[in-house]
Amino acid sequence: MSSPSIGAEPPYAGAPPDGEQGRGRAYLVTAMFLAPAAILLSVWILYPLIYTIWRSFYDSSGAHFIWLDNYKTLFSTDTTRTAIKNNAIWVAVVPALVTAIGLVFAVLTERIRWSVAFKIAVFMPMAVSLFAAGVIWRIMYQQEPSRGALNAVSAAVVDRVKQPGPLSDAFPSGTKLTGTPQTGIVLKTPVRPGSVALLPLTGIPPDQVPAGSVQARQPAPKAGAITGAVWRDFKPGGGTPGKLEKGEVGLPNVTVVLRDSSGKSIGSTTTGPDGRFVFAGVKPGAYRTAIGSATFRQPYGGVAWLGAKLINPAIMIAYIWVWAGFSMVVIAAGLAAIPRDTLEAARTDGATEWQVFRRVTVPLLAPVLSVVFITMLINVLKVFDIVLSVAPSSVQANANVIALAMWRTSFGGVNDFGLGSAIAVFLFLLVIPVLALNVRRFRREV
């Protein structure tokens, strides 16, 4: 039409219908390309989106429109409130930590020769399902130091610093002793120089009898000294409690403390193989003999990772273990894209490594860091499988998160589709800012 030679234009007879037809056919081809995706996305995502929003305004039976009541329940029930509170902690802690760890790893691996091997090691858990990762960490978190690797490591350290006592399970035999293993076990009656203090203990299993112990012997009284014995007051067939008999062994290496009348410790000694001990050169007066609490110190029992108090940090550690590799690899790629000259220029100008990192590297990486952070934010909001596999059922209520509460409410026995829908919508509302961000980024690109 804009042709300069309108009059000379030859009749274009067949063209318009042909073009129309051609365009029609082109649209048909386009529709064929798009139809399968359009159908699936409409039926599995768009329709459910609308249905779930609509359903969230109805009660559990679906018959009564209750407006916002499900949302009120969501914020007033303990279960869901715990879930929201826990998820808030997740959001506050995990994305920032994963991003920071990834950044540190990416920067550090730049300086070593075996960075590829390191990256594969850290990245590997990405291939493992979050569910299996949970199983892996549940094994790591077993409480007894003999079974759980984490507690075994801490026990090795703690038991070295505070050695467990030789007789951690013993308790007094007979009625003449008082006190607890925590405070030390004391003879009820005072002793004076020249008298004998008998300290019988029981509750010592045969395998805990110290090596090298021999038949216990009755100590002889000695002037100016307090003598006594500590022994295992048990022999096959029984025996009399409090009485030193044949077949009962002495307990060596037990720390015995001498206290004056005010309770102050004035001396200590250890027992011999037959359980005997001597405090020599004791001034006249009334004293007390006690077995110190160190003798009864329990070995380190381990941290209750899977208990109610620590279950959330425990799950988060497992989760960070999985995702740190993702963060590291994405940030390392961003780091590789930073022009070397920029960093070198800063170094030539006399900047320290820390200044280069803080003032040049991190600002240049900001876009990459924000991508990692936002990705983790979305992931953390939807956290589900790993909670189910790390947390034993007894503490799952303490570890509840929004996605888990949604599933429990809808399919875990309660089967309240109204409240379940409301929880899902709440989750959806939380990710909408991210959705808006993605859309804006795309529009800028186009």
Partner 1 sequence: MATATAAAAGEEAVVVPDPREKTSARILRILAKGPLNILLIIIAVFWLVPTIGLFLTSLMSANDFANFGWWKVASNPHLATWNNYSNLIHHTNIPSSLWVTIQIAVGGTVLPIIIASLAAYAFAWLEFPGRDWTFIIVIGMLVVPLQMALIPIFSLYNHLHLFDTVFGLILFHTAFGLPFAIFLLRNFFIGIPKDILESARIDGASEIRIFLRLILPLGLPAIASLAIFQFLWTWNDLLVALTMARNTQPLTVAIFSNLRQFGSNIDLIAPAAFFSLAIPLVVFLAFQRYFVQGLLAGSVK
User: According to CB under 8 A, which residues from 358 to 397 bind partner 1?
Assistant: 371-372, 374-375, 378, 381-382, 384-385, 388-389, 392-393
Looking at residues 304 to 343 of the shown chain, list those that interact with partner 1 (rule: CB under 8 A): 321, 324-326, 329-330, 332-333, 335-336, 340
Least distance between partner 1 and beta carbon 287 (Å)? 45
* 96, 121, 156, 362: which one binds partner 1 (CB under 8 A): 121
CB nearer partner 1, residue 170 or residue 369:
369
DSSP string, 237-284: TB--TT---TTPBB-TT-EEEEE-TTS-EEEEEE--TTSEEEE-SPPS
Which residue, 47 or 75, has its beta carbon nearer to partner 1? 47
- For residue 289, give the DSSP letter: E
Per-residue HEC secondary structure of 63-124 comes to: CCECCCHHHHHHHHCHHHHHHHHHHHHHHHHHHHHHHHHHHHHHHHHCCCCCHHHHHHHHHH
Residue 91-110 contact track with partner 1, rule CB under 8 A, x = bound: --------------xx-xxx
The residue (of 216 and 425) whose beta carbon lies closer to partner 1 is 425
How far apart, in whole angstroms, are the C-alpha atoms of residue 302 and residue 430? 38
Q: Count the residues of the shown chain that bind partner 1, applying the rule CB under 8 A.
A: 105
Closest CA to 389 of 205, 198, 179, 134: 134
Q: Which one, 140 or 351, has the nearer CB to partner 1?
A: 140
Choosing from 15, 88, 96, 120, the residue that interacts with partner 1 (CB under 8 A) is: 120
Q: Which is nearer to partner 1, 50 or 223 (CB)?
A: 50
Kindly state whether residue 63 participates in binding partner 1, applying the rule CB under 8 A.
no
User: Which residue lies nearer to partner 1 by CB, 60 or 215?
Assistant: 60
Specify the residue, 225 or 397, whose C-beta has the smaller distance to partner 1. Answer: 397
Integer Cα distance of 21 and 222 in angstroms: 124
Enclosing H/E stretch for 171: strand 171-172
Q: Is 442 in the site for partner 1 (CB under 8 A)?
A: yes
10 Å CB burial of residue 352 (0-12, 13-18, 19+) is: exposed
d(CA 264, CA 322): 55
Site string for partner 1, 150-179 (x = CB under 8 A): --x---------------------------
Query: For partner 1, what does the binding mask look like between residues 200 and 239, x meaning CB under 8 A?
Result: ----------------------------------------
Please report where in the chains the tokens 């610093």 appear, as a residue: 161
421 touching partner 1, by CB under 8 A: yes
Residue number, 258 or 318, with CB nearest to partner 1: 318
Which of 26, 68, 345, 362 lies at the binding interface for partner 1 (CB under 8 A)?
26
Q: Give least dist CB 363 to partner 1, A.
A: 19
Q: Which stretch binds partner 1 (CB under 8 A): 49-57, 161-169, 202-210, 267-275?
A: 49-57
Query: Among the residues of 141-199, which ranges form H helices?
Result: 149-161
Torsion angle (degrees, nearest 10) of CA 171, 175, 178, 182: 10
Nearer to partner 1, 358 or 441 (CB): 441
User: How many angstroms separate the CA atoms of 291 and 252, rounded?
Assistant: 12
C-beta closer to partner 1: residue 296 or 326: 326
- Min separation Cβ 441 and partner 1, Å: 8
Cα separation, 332 vs 325, whole angstroms: 10
The vertex-108 CA angle with 376 and 130, nearest 5°, equals 30
Question: Does 49 contact partner 1 by CB under 8 A?
Answer: yes
Q: Extract the tokens encoding 323.
A: 């995702």
Cα–Cα distance measured from residue 287 to residue 187, given in angstroms and rounded to the nearest whole number: 10
- Residue 33, CB-side half-sphere exposure with 13 Å CA sphere: 6
**The binder of partner 1 chosen from 118, 171, 179, 268 (CB under 8 A):** 118
Site for partner 1 contains 88 (CB under 8 A): no
